[in-house]
Chain A
Amino acid sequence: MTAVSIPSGGLFAAHLPRWIRGIRPTLVLSLLVLAVAASAAIAPGLWTHTDPLHADPLAARQPPSLAHLAGTDIQGRDVLTRIVYGARFSLLIGLGATLVALGLGAILGIVAGVGPRWADQLVTRLVDVVAAFPEVLLALLMIALSGRGAINLALALGVAGLPKYARTIRATVQQTRCAGYVEQATTFGASRWQRLVRHVLPNALGPLPVMVTIGFGGAIISSSGLSFLGLGPQPPAAEWGLMLAESRNYLRQTWWTGVFPGVALTAVVMAATVLGRHLQERYERRLP
């Protein structure tokens, strides 16, 4: 895939061992970004010793400096600390939404793929209806019914995002079901369940890691967008979308509060996209 990878290796590349030449700088960088983000989500104390909620009015609105690498916000809270602590909310909501979408999508897709014809029809129409709503709007509607907050946000986005998983899994399950080796298993006397669990599912669910990685990036964008609207974690929580929303009114005085949380957000989404595309490339190149 030439469209996204920057050509690796320069003049000396030919002299290096093969495994080093095979390393893609963009991929390594992406893994690094994801590792940093994950560590910040699990143990934010590793990266900063400041309290994300500690407001120091005397140090308010300070531009980026050595003491505050990303500056301080209108209440004098350190922006970098808040970005580090915000990773937990942003990553967890994104991951939660992806897993909900994947779980529901997998159940629906498998039922449609192996079930009787009426079940397939029913599930297909059901998924069509969910897909009829624009994703963000469906999530908004569900939040309106269930109330705001991080968990409701992840659930709503998960339901809104299930069509793509359900459709893909249904298609791959149906394809694998007709494959030669499944037919052979039938002639060897494998029962319906044995065929499903031992042959169809392991092969049909192959593209899932790819979908999850790419879907994760999208889920983070949507979830931060909805918490930007004030429908996710509530202030004074540190969450990237919420931080951007709070920066909106003071952009003229403190541009850094509006720029850096977004840089973190974009970096994580970008890393997930690069990793997802790499996995996809490998998946497509695998032996048939």
Chain B
Amino acid sequence: MTTTVETAVSPLAVPLAGERRSGHGALAFLVARRVLAGVLVLWAAITATFLAIQLAPGDTVSLLLGENRDDPVLRAQTIERWGLNQPLWVQYLTYLRRIPSGDLGISYTLRQPVAHLIAINAGPTFTLAAVAAAGAIVIAILGALIVTSPVHWLRPLVSGYELIMVSAPSFWLAIVLLWLFSFELGWFSIVKQGSWQALVLPAASLALPIGAYLSQLLVSGIDRAMEQPFIITTRARGSSLLAARIQHALRHAALPALHMLGLIVGSLLGGAVIVEQVFGRVGLGQLLVDAVKVKDMPLILGVTLVTTAVFVAASTVVDILGTLIDPRTKGNLR
């Protein structure tokens, strides 16, 4: 029984109806199709947020103004700026046309263009997410190789550790790491924003749970691959058990894990928002949470749309990569 972890997530890999096409060597077609699908989903997401604002209780102007709803000058400006006196479909088209040109409106609490605020704050968040992703992959591969190693007593030990990591919320890990390594031991100061020391603990608290999760996925894949005939062949040709695991089984197991990476980018971005709060880091998370608390809608929409765009882009790239890496899926290029 080795499929537990993987089947827990397999629903997401269920192919959608009408997407099964046989395309031969149609790489460009595949990429174009995927990118188009990503753009369409993003467009639908933007439309959904537009509709959500229209449907939300309270009038749109007050919603957009947040705390400043009683300021008549700002109110007039908002109506003017968002064209709220125009028919709904005109408003929708204006809203849609602004986004590609990078005009995401103006934050009412910070009185600055949303695009500018995002540009300033995106750097630290994406750095954090990227470092955490890299860390998670390293942790996952090391963990998987240890668990599948012939040293039997290590397996329950590492598995138990991984179970704890998968179950612990990253913001709690962040609190524990902060207390232990920053306050008690004083190894990593979080005071100097932008230094590598300040990045270690936030990245670790995001990477540990995701690394453990990926590792469990890899392990179930490796276990299954090691039972395949081609492993016996490589073993018969004289490759060591470790080499067979690294060169062949791991490669096999990487595919389901790769498919999960797209989703993991999403959970990283969501997790980063919360972990940034623990460490008091500047970033999109801080920006977004502050905006939610004062209902600064243009800012909330801007941050959500930008992160959603990154998420959709990552899923699209992972989808294309997955198809390219696995020769078996060539038959039904989606």
Contact = CB atoms under 8 A, between A and B. Distances in A.
Interface of A: 1-4, 6-7, 117, 120-121, 124-125, 128-129, 132-138, 140-146, 164, 167-168, 170-171, 174, 211, 214, 217, 221, 224-225, 228-231, 241, 244, 247-248, 251-252, 255, 258-259, 261-262, 265-266, 269-270, 273-274, 276-277, 280-281, 284-285
15 contacts: A4-B159, A132-B311, A137-B269, A137-B270, A137-B288, A140-B304, A144-B295, A144-B297, A170-B14, A225-B169, A225-B271, A228-B274, A255-B184, A265-B172, A273-B167
Q: Which of B169, B297, B312 has the most CB of A within 10 A?
A: B169
A26 to B, nearest CB: 9
A134 B1 CA distance: 31
Contacts of B164: 266, 270
Interface of B is mostly: helix
B273 A136 contact: yes
Contact of A3 (B5, B176, B273): B5
B110 to A, nearest CB: 16
B11 A167 contact: yes
Contacts, number: 193
8 closest A-B pairs by beta carbon, nearest first, are A136-B270, A262-B172, A168-B11, A134-B266, A270-B167, A269-B167, A1-B4, A129-B44
A252 B185 CA distance: 12
A136 B176 contact: no
B11 A134 contact: no
Contacts of B93: none
Tell me which of B11, B18, B159 has the highest count of chain A C-beta atoms within 10 A of its own C-beta: B11
Interface in B139-182: 147, 155-156, 159-160, 162-164, 166-172, 175-176, 178-179
B27 interface: no
A2 B155 contact: yes
Given A228-B274, A262-B175, 8 more contacts: A3-B4, A121-B18, A136-B271, A137-B308, A140-B304, A146-B57, A241-B171, A244-B172
A266 B167 contact: yes
Contacts of A277: 4-5, 8
A164 B12 contact: yes
Given A141-B304, A167-B11, A168-B11, A248 B175 contact: yes
A135 B270 contact: yes
Nearest to A214: B8
B154 to A, nearest CB: 12
B266 A251 contact: no
Residue of B156, B270, B273, B304 ringed by the most chain A CB atoms within 10 A: B270
Contacts of B48: 129
- Chain A interface helix/strand/loop/mixed: helix
Contact of B293 (A135, A146, A224, A230): A230
Interface of B: 1-5, 7-8, 11-12, 14, 16-18, 41-42, 44-45, 48-49, 52-53, 56-57, 63, 147, 155-156, 159-160, 162-164, 166-172, 175-176, 178-179, 183-184, 216, 219-220, 223, 266-267, 269-271, 273-274, 277-278, 288-289, 291-293, 295, 297, 300-301, 303-304, 307-308, 311-312
Nearest to A230: B293
A171 to B, nearest CB: 4
A7 B156 CA distance: 8
B149 to A, nearest CB: 13
A265 B171 CA distance: 11
Given A135-B270, A244-B171, A144 B300 contact: yes
A125 B163 contact: no
Chain B CB within 10 Å — which of A141, A229, A265 has the most?
A141
Contact of A135 (B14, B63, B159, B267): B267
B11 A171 contact: yes
A269 B163 CA distance: 10
A262 B45 contact: no
B304 A132 contact: no
Nearest to B220: A3
A283 to B, nearest CB: 9
B277 A229 contact: yes
Contacts of A266: 164, 167-169, 172
A242 B4 CA distance: 33
Most central of A134, A167, A168 by chain B CB within 10 Å: A134
A78 to B, nearest CB: 20
